[in-house]
């Protein structure tokens, strides 16, 4: 027991202090840490010096005694400093006094003023005895220590008083100091002193201080698992084993393996090495298991994640992997991934850890969290964020959303200084707070995931752009071909139907309402088709005004019903959309199904195109099915708007309008009749079909209808018009359009009406368009209009001779008039097919 108490306990104490010292040395330094290191150093001096003195080691008792006593004398002030830093006390006065006094005491004691080095004698039993010559000055040291301890306790009391319920954090320290005291007092009790109980108390005290620091999270426990501490532990352990077992082991070899006795040194050396290796690895594994297990798991996850996402450009795959890794690495219950929308107004939830989670959550770009993440590019802990000024600008709804989802941490996915996404982490499974290691892990994941996600999004965007149509968002024609081939290959043993929808008179629609309105109509129709088809098929924009729908497993009947549904919705599409009345759009559709109507993809497409053409030719607004027999209309009776009987239907309207102008300006009425006559002859001469001729005739009748809105004094003015009057007069074209626009059934005449004052060279009005951009009907009207204007008497001029008019038309061919039409018209006049 005596040996154990005098050597082994100090040895264990020295080991413990050294171990803590090495461990803490690796921690991030702060004033508290430095003050704790000072305690450990003083303790090492005290215990080590004392032990080496007892062992009578070189350079001698005197040296080790001084080392030991320096440590001992410095301990009170080291404790004082530690408490001072630990509780954040202010004021330097006492601290300076104690420190300065300690330096003086230590210095004086080098000369043995307070307690001189002991003398060594050997007892009869061979035991070493250390004799101290205790003099009265030692009382100064005792008093000094007492005063320092009192001031230390006063400091602790003040702090506890200030923070009544927070005394808990100081408990380990107080207990430690009390134990140290008790240990030192026990040393004075005869019989107990030999057990080195003061040293034992010192070990316990150091352990408690260590615990207090750990509780304040001043260092990481993983520091304990550093290589240096593992070496120290393994080394000490092996040294102890061999110190006790080397002799028995030697006798064991000598006794039981005598033949190997001459190799005993080698055997012992090999055994020592092996045991060292085993102990080192055992200690390392144990430490790793206790302290760095989580880190190892996280590192492995990180490595796997990095490898997995580097192989993929699929966003879904990356997000799935990201969520899995985060859940495994940090241990969160729920996790959401938010990505910016196209308009860059919100970050929407695009992925969550469970498909059952609501994905309604979204962050606006102006959300203070987003601003914070953008600025700081690091994890945001909601609890900490709540304590910033920026949090004040959070909306209540935004706060509620975070609270409802129990979000505790937001991780930015930053790439090229841009917030490419946000990860929302709900509370951890064990309800513990996010710690330093978690944040490190999340940030490592973030840097890998950010790049992977950005690449995947770029790829996805490029892939999408390459296969979709910008305007409608449907697949483009190129990708349509790929899709139909793919689907065909997949469905060879089943049926596949192709439906193509071609919008009727879409050019007219564009001319009536402008390209912008036309684009809107295309988008709306695309939306209708997409909604009706859903996931049953693939929808594409086949050409400018054509849409194609690939319908795997559909038969003709179900496809026709689908087309009917689309037609019904397109028919009502424009109702109530705008303030002005928009023309009803219709389409002609063709359907062909494999294997009933085609043997391969090429045939399928050709047959549908032919069917659409037939539907157009036979009156538009029809859904036709390809058949190897005569083309049949599924629902006869759907006819084009432009059918002969329609003209009869609207003749009364046209008559009413022309009659109206007649009452105001009889000349215009006559003029319109004549222009209609000339234009009809010209249209017939250039070989237009009956429908087109009829359109031109009606356009001619209505082309000056806008003159209703021109004041009579300008209409009937004798003499030339002033500039202002001319401007008013020119407005009759727009007036005409405004009137006709409100009669959607007559809108087909608008191209003719609107363009009859345009010139071939582009110098006309109202739009200044040129050449063949001017509708054919308008070009016909322009010549007819000019010819009649020249050959009839007007209020401001007499009728000009026909020859003059013909010459003028010839002269202006290619300038004002279409050269081909002008030539034809001149020919018609010269051949007297047109008579004035």
Partner 1 sequence: MNFEAKLKKKQYENLWQEYCGFLDLDLENYMQIQKRLMLEQILIWSSSELGKRILKGKQPRTIEEFRRMLPLTTYLDYAQLLLQKQADLLPDTPVLWIETTWEGGKHPVKVAPYTKSMLDTYRSNVVAIFMLATSSGRGNFNIRPNDRMLYGLAPLPYATGLLPLLLDAEVKLQFLPPVKSAEKMTFGERNRKGFELGSQEGIDLFFGLSSVANFIGQSFSSMSSSGAKKNILKYTPKMIMRYLCAKYKSKKNGVPIKPKDLFKLKGFVCAGTDSKCYKKSLEDLWGCRPLEIAAGTEPTCIATEAWDRDGLYFFPDACFYEFIPENEMLQGIEDPSYAPKTYLMDEVIANQNYEIVLTVLKGGAFARYRVGDVYRCLSTDKGNETIKLPRFEFVDRVPTVIDIAGFTRITENSITDVINLSGLGIYDWIACKEYNDDNTPFLHLYVELKQEAIESSAVSKKILVEHLSVYFKYSDSDYHDLKRLLGIDPLEVTILTSGIFDLYKKNNHNSLRRMNPSKHEMMEFLKVHNKSYDKLSVVKK
Would you tell me which residues interact with partner 1 (CB under 8 A)? 88, 162-166, 366, 368, 383, 386-390, 392-393, 395-397
Min dist. Cβ of residue 349 to partner 1 (A): 21
Min dist. Cβ of residue 385 to partner 1 (A): 11
Indicate the SS3 state at residue 124: coil
Min dist. Cβ of residue 163 to partner 1 (A): 5
Q: How many Å apart are CA 830 and CA 823, to the nearest integer? A: 10
Min dist. Cβ of residue 706 to partner 1 (A): 38
Residue 89 vs 187, nearer CB to partner 1: 89
Cβ atoms within 10 Å, residue 205: 24
Q: Name which of 764, 745, 539, 790 is nearest 645 in CA terms.
A: 745
Q: How many Å apart are CA 628 and CA 598, to the nearest integer? A: 9
- What are the DSSP calls for 639-656, one per residue? --S--HHHHHHHHHHHHH
Q: Name which of 456, 451, 450, 475 is nearest 464 in CA terms.
A: 475
Q: How many Å apart are CA 710 and CA 717, to the nearest integer? A: 12
Q: Are strands 587-594 and 496-503 parallel, antiparallel or unpaired?
A: antiparallel
Min dist. Cβ of residue 404 to partner 1 (A): 15
Residue 32 vs 737, nearer CB to partner 1: 32
Min dist. Cβ of residue 575 to partner 1 (A): 25
Identify whether the C-beta of residue 84 lies closer than 8 Å to the C-beta of residue 36: no
Check residue 388 and report its DSSP letter.
S
Tell me the sheet residues that pair with 500.
548, 590
Residue 133 vs 393, nearer CB to partner 1: 393
Min dist. Cβ of residue 427 to partner 1 (A): 15
- What are the DSSP calls for 777-807, one per residue? HHHHHHHHHHHHHHHS-BTTBPPPPHHHHHH
Q: How many Å apart are CA 120 and CA 770, to the nearest integer? A: 124
Indicate the SS3 state at residue 114: coil
Residue 257 vs 395, nearer CB to partner 1: 395
* 719, 720, 721, 722 alpha-carbon torsion, rounded to 10°: -120
Q: Name which of 528, 552, 680 is nearest 520 in CA terms.
A: 528
The tokens describing 476, both together, are 């483009």
Residue 365 vs 596, nearer CB to partner 1: 365
Identify whether the C-beta of residue 695 lies closer than 8 Å to the C-beta of residue 749: yes
Check residue 414 and report its DSSP letter.
E
Q: How many Å apart are CA 611 and CA 626, to the nearest integer? A: 6
Residue 365 vs 613, nearer CB to partner 1: 365
Counts for the chain of helices (H) and strands (E), in that order: 31, 14
Identify whether the C-beta of residue 156 lies closer than 8 Å to the C-beta of residue 163: no
Residue 364 vs 795, nearer CB to partner 1: 364
Categorise residue 481: left if φ over 0, alpha if ψ from -120 to 50, beta otherwise.
alpha
Residue 406 vs 662, nearer CB to partner 1: 406
H or E segment and range at residue 295: helix 293-310
The tokens describing 579, both together, are 């303030």
Residue 82 vs 480, nearer CB to partner 1: 82
Residue 223 vs 390, nearer CB to partner 1: 390
H or E segment and range at residue 566: helix 556-571
In sequence order, the 6+-apart residues with CB closer than 8 A to the CB of 261 are 253, 254
Residue 384 vs 486, nearer CB to partner 1: 384
Q: State yes or no: cis peptide before 766, omega within 30 of 0.
A: yes
Residue 166 vs 263, nearer CB to partner 1: 166
Min dist. Cβ of residue 391 to partner 1 (A): 8
Residue 387 vs 798, nearer CB to partner 1: 387
Token look-up 């008497």 returns: 793
Min dist. Cβ of residue 434 to partner 1 (A): 15
Min dist. Cβ of residue 347 to partner 1 (A): 16
Q: Name which of 319, 322, 372, 376 is nearest 350 in CA terms.
A: 319
Min dist. Cβ of residue 388 to partner 1 (A): 7
Q: Name which of 663, 673, 646 is nearest 743 in CA terms.
A: 646
Residue 367 vs 824, nearer CB to partner 1: 367
In sequence order, the 6+-apart residues with CB closer than 8 A to the CB of 316 are 351
Min dist. Cβ of residue 177 to partner 1 (A): 21
Indicate the SS3 state at residue 634: coil
Q: Are strands 587-594 and 623-625 parallel, antiparallel or unpaired?
A: parallel
Residue 303 vs 383, nearer CB to partner 1: 383
Min dist. Cβ of residue 172 to partner 1 (A): 17
Instruction: Report the sign of the C-alpha dihedral through residues 392, 395, 397, 402, in that order.
Output: negative
Residue 344 vs 535, nearer CB to partner 1: 344
Residue 262 vs 397, nearer CB to partner 1: 397
Identify whether the C-beta of residue 252 lies closer than 8 Å to the C-beta of residue 260: no
Min dist. Cβ of residue 321 to partner 1 (A): 36
H or E segment and range at residue 506: helix 506-513
Min dist. Cβ of residue 625 to partner 1 (A): 50
Min dist. Cβ of residue 220 to partner 1 (A): 20
Q: How many Å apart are CA 803 and CA 826, to the nearest integer? A: 10
Min dist. Cβ of residue 423 to partner 1 (A): 24
Q: How many Å apart are CA 792 and CA 794, to the nearest integer? A: 6
């Amino acid at each position: 027991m005596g040996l154990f108490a005098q050597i082994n306990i100090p040895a264990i104490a020295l080991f413990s202090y050294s171990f803590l010292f090495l461990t803490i040395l690796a921690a991030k330094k702060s004033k508290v840490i430095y003050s704790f290191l000072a305690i450990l150093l003083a303790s090492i001096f005290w215990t080590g010096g004392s032990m080496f003195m007892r062992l009578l080691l070189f350079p001698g008792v005197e040296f080790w005694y001084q080392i030991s006593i320096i440590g001992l004398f410095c301990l009170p002030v080291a404790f004082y400093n530690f408490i001072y830093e630990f509780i954040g006390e202010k004021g330097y006065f006492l601290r300076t006094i104690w420190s300065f006094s300690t330096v003086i005491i230590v210095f004086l004691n080098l000369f043995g003023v307070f307690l001189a080095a002991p003398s060594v004698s050997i007892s009869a039993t061979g035991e070493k005895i250390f004799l101290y010559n205790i003099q009265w000055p030692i009382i100064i040291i005792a008093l000094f220590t007492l005063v320092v301890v009192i001031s230390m306790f006063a400091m602790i009391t003040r702090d506890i008083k200030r923070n009544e319920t927070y005394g808990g954090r100081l408990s380990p320290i107080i207990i430690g100091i009390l134990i140290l005291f008790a240990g030192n007092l026990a040393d004075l009790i005869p019989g107990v002193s030999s057990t080195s109980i003061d040293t034992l108390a010192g070990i316990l005290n150091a352990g408690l201080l260590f615990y207090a620091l750990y509780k304040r999270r001043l260092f990481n426990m993983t520091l304990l698992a550093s290589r240096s501490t593992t070496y120290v532990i393994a080394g000490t352990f092996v040294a102890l084993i061999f110190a006790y077992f080397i002799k028995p082991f030697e006798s064991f070899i000598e006794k039981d393996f005598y033949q190997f006795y001459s190799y005993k040194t080698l055997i012992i050396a090999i055994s020592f090495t092996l045991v060292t290796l085993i102990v080192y690895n055992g200690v390392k594994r144990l430490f790793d298991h206790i302290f760095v297990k989580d880190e190892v798991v996280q590192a492995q996850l990180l490595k796997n994640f990095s490898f997995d996402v580097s192989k993929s450009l699929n966003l879904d795959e990356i997000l799935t992997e990201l969520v899995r890794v985060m859940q495994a690495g940090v241990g969160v219950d729920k996790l959401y991934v938010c990505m910016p929308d196209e308009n860059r107004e919100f970050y929407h939830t695009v992925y969550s850890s469970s498909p059952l989670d609501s994905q309604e959550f979204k962050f606006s770009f102006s959300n203070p969290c987003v601003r914070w993440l953008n600025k700081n590019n690091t994890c945001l802990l909601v609890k900490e964020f709540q304590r910033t000024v920026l949090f004040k600008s959070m909306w209540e709804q935004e706060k509620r959303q975070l609270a409802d989802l129990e979000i505790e941490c937001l991780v930015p996915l930053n790439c090229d200084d841009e917030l490419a996404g946000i990860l929302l982490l709900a509370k951890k499974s064990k309800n513990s707070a996010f710690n330093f290691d978690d944040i490190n892990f999340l940030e490592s994941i973030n840097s890998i995931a950010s790049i992977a996600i950005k690449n995947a999004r770029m790829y996805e965007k490029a892939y999408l752009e390459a296969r979709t149509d910008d305007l409608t968002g449907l697949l483009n024609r190129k990708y349509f071909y790929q899709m139909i081939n793919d689907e065909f290959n997949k469905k060879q043993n089943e049926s596949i139907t192709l439906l193509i929808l071609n919008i009727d008179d879409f050019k007219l629609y564009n001319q009536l309402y402008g390209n912008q309105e036309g684009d809107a109509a295309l988008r709306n129709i695309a939306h209708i088709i997409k909604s009706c088809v859903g996931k049953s098929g693939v929808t594409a924009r086949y050409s400018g005004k054509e849409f194609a729908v690939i319908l795997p497993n559909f038969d003709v009947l179900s496809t026709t019903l689908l087309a009917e549904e689309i037609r019904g919705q397109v028919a009502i599409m424009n109702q109530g959309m705008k303030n002005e009345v928009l023309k009803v759009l219709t389409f002609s559709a063709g359907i062909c199904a494999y294997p009933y109507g085609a043997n391969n993809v090429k045939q399928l497409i050709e047959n549908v195109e032919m069917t659409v053409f037939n539907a157009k030719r036979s009156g538009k607004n029809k859904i036709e099915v390809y058949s190897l027999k005569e083309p049949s209309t599924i629902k006869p009776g759907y006819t084009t708007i432009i059918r002969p009987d329609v003209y009869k239907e609207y003749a009364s309207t046209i008559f009413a309008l022309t009659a109206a102008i007649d009452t105001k300006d009889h000349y215009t009425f006559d003029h319109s009749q004549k222009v209609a006559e000339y234009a009809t002859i010209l249209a017939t001469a250039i070989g237009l079909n009956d429908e087109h001729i009829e359109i031109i005739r009606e356009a001619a009748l209505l082309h000056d209808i806008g003159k209703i809105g021109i004041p009579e004094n300008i209409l009937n003015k004798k003499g030339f018009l002033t500039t202002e009057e001319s401007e008013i007069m020119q407005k009759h074209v727009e007036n005409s359009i405004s009137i006709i626009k409100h009669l959607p059934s007559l809108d087909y005449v608008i191209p003719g009406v609107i363009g009859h004052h345009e010139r071939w060279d582009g110098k006309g009005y109202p739009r200044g368009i040129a050449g063949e951009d001017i509708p054919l009907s308008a070009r016909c009207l322009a010549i007819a209009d000019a010819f009649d204007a020249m050959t009839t008497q007007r209020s401001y001029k007499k009728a000009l001779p026909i020859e003059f008019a013909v010459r003028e038309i010839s002269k202006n061919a290619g300038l004002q008039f279409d050269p081909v039409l002008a030539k034809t018209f001149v020919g018609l006049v010269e051949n007297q097919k047109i008579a004035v």
